[in-house]
Chains A and B, each alone.
Chain A
Amino acid sequence: MTEREFDHSRMENALRSLARAIDYPETPDLAPAVRTRIEARPAATRAGLLRRAEMGLRRAALALRQPAFAATAIVVIASVFLMMSPAARTAVADWLGFDDVRVSFDDPPVRPVGGELQLGRRVSLSEARSAVSFDVLVPEELGAPDEVYYNSFVSEGQVTLVYRARDDLPRARGTRVGAIVTQFEANFLDQQFYEKFVRSSTTVQEVPVAGVRGLWINQSHTLIFRGADGSIDNEDSRLSGPSLVWEKDGILFRLESSLSLTRAVAAAESLR
């Protein structure tokens, strides 16, 4: 037995011992309340009808799958979308998003708060690097960030680089700074993700970024943080400017700026 295995085995025994000492509250009988709540809104169980609608929409969505989505097509999807259940909406959004970022063609459920970026605690780049287990990358095209923030909205931590507006980096509409680059580990429990609510007139485009698939959302949209179960924290919503989102090696990146698509992709590909 190696020293580490020995240590682990002592720790494991200690944890099992601790587990036996936890004083759990008495188990409540949840079944009656759950049943009452389910029976109060039974319509959502019309699975067959819903699945057919979902399949139809998926087929329509796939037929529209092109490098750029025409605004008219989006309007059609958006209007159908509003009539669908959350489950079906998620299914369609899955096709367009990643595991942790989804795009919904829908009206935002909460009013954007704007202004406040709520990026977390201000830290130095080296502090941010030691706070997370992934490599924090900096886009060479943009240079060293002016500010760095860390937050634990996601379990493995999220790091955001902030660039003040400057001549070659005009102020972005959503953030009122030049650019922000957010990165976090994309596989964190897979329970939460950002959701972007785009207006029906917004163009969402698939673009290659350093050999992987990216999404380019060229207009302002509402960015919210929510759980996969649909819960939404109003405080975490804000208006987002044009953004490029991509996932590489398990890390989710988001570049929000007023840069053109070409420059945004160049910045994204210069991450080191």
Chain B
Amino acid sequence: MDDGALVELAQQGDVEAYEKLVQRYQGLASRVAYLVARDASDAEDAAQEAFVKAYYALDRFRSGAAFKPWLLRIVTNEALNRRRSAGRRASLALRATEERVSGGAAPSPETTALEHEERRALLAAIESLGETDRLVVTYRYFLELSEAEMAAALDIPRGTVKSRLSRALVKLRTALPGEVIND
């Protein structure tokens, strides 16, 4: 059953239908919550809270709209609230090696693995960005949302998504030490 049908049932009070949506999106919600809150425990709380709030907000959900970006907005907001109240946060945890892309194919030359230090520097540069820039980078490259999904999740026109993304990339380049990525 697609999202729209489940949302419609949930709007009529079908808790099981909503539970299916939670199961479908809890992975994505947990990831975005972690990327924003940068703390595993806060991320879990934020994701759970977001699902509960989204349920009670279903009345306001526009029929025919996509559920995923709408949910992401709520999750992001919950995670942002927790991060703001927590003050300064540790960086995201990084693996020692990159996860292989599904299928196990070797990375193409264009996606050459970054050295650990480079990853750290890039992560620090991302964390030095303003909230909006950080979010567009997170949505696009970490969560691989499409421009249309980003536009819906951020409630901005698609053209604005492109310009914000481009602006964020320029800022990232400026924030990085000279020898990282830029050479």
Contact = CB atoms under 8 A, between A and B. Distances in A.
Nearest to B41: A25
Contacts of A192: 77
Contact of B74 (A24, A152, A188, A229): A229
B89 interface: no
Given A34-B52, A38-B55, A229-B77, A24 B30 contact: yes
Contacts of B47: 28, 30
Contacts of A7: 169, 173, 182
Given A19-B141, A34-B22, A37-B52, A189 B11 contact: no
> What does DSSP make chain A's interface, helix, strand, loop or mixed?
helix
Contacts of A51: 59
Contacts of B156: 187, 190
A114 interface: no
Contacts of B56: 44-45, 86-87
Interface string A10-40: 1111111111111111011111011101110
A190 B77 CA distance: 10
Interface residues of B, number: 77
Interface string A201-224: 000000000000000000000000
Contacts of A19: 141-142, 144
Interface residues of A, number: 58
A22 B141 contact: no
A17 B15 contact: no
A91 B59 CA distance: 10
A47 B11 contact: yes
B112 A17 contact: yes
Interface in B163-178: 166, 169-170, 172-173
Nearest to B93: A23
B3 interface: no
A109 interface: no
Given A15-B122, A37-B52, A192-B77, A22 B111 contact: no
B66 interface: no
B60 interface: yes
Contacts of B100: 20
12 contacts: A10-B182, A13-B110, A28-B47, A30-B47, A34-B55, A38-B52, A86-B56, A152-B130, A189-B135, A192-B77, A229-B81, A231-B78
Interface of B: 11-13, 15, 18-19, 22-23, 26-27, 29-31, 34-35, 40, 43-44, 47-48, 50-53, 55-60, 73-74, 76-78, 80-81, 84-85, 92-95, 97-101, 107, 110-114, 118-119, 122-123, 130-132, 135, 137, 140-142, 144, 154-156, 166, 169-170, 172-173, 181-182
Interface of A: 4, 7-25, 27-31, 33-35, 37-39, 42, 44-47, 50-51, 86-87, 90-91, 152, 155-157, 187-192, 227-231, 233
Given A7-B169, A16-B111, A227-B77, 5 more contacts: A17-B107, A25-B30, A30-B26, A31-B22, A155-B135
